[in-house]
Amino acid sequence: MNEPLPLSDKIFIGRKTQSDNIVEVDRGDGDVTALDIKKSLEVVQHSTRFTWGWHNRNSEGHAQLAAALLYEVTGNDNVEIARTYYQLFRLERVIYFKSTFEISEYQIRCWLQDVGGI
């Protein structure tokens, strides 16, 4: 079993606009920033934009979002966790996100624990 990951109060918020798909990270301290897709490209390189939801569920952007969320939760030292589980997370969570979604770091950690990732 891996070392426990440090816990935070991050909430990931996604919304679709007419021109873009926006995913932000609320760190619980008033600091809300865009989820950095560049970091997730260190895990896998599927897409340069995030997508989610049932429509176009096989989109490469779904896989990139799954990788980005897992990478953000597990941190730089645990790239292999994100790389190992991102496709399963895409299939079990990301394709079911509505046009506007929120998912907490805690929910993602619980999912990782359920599948044996942490």
- The values of phi and psi at residue 16, to 5°, are -100, 135
What pLDDT is attached to residue 8?
A: 67
What pLDDT is attached to residue 90?
A: 96
Q: Can you tell me the distance from the alpha carbon of 115 to that of 74, in angstroms, rounded to the nearest whole number?
A: 14
What pLDDT is attached to residue 110?
A: 95
Amino acid in position 83: R
Domain ranges of the chain: 11-112
Q: How many of the other CB atoms lie within 10 Å of CB of 93? A: 19
* pLDDT per residue as tens, the chain (118 positions): 455 555 668 999 999 999 999 999 999 888 899 999 998 898 899 998 999 998 776 789 999 999 999 999 998 678 999 999 999 999 999 999 999 999 999 999 999 999 988 8
What pLDDT is attached to residue 7?
A: 60
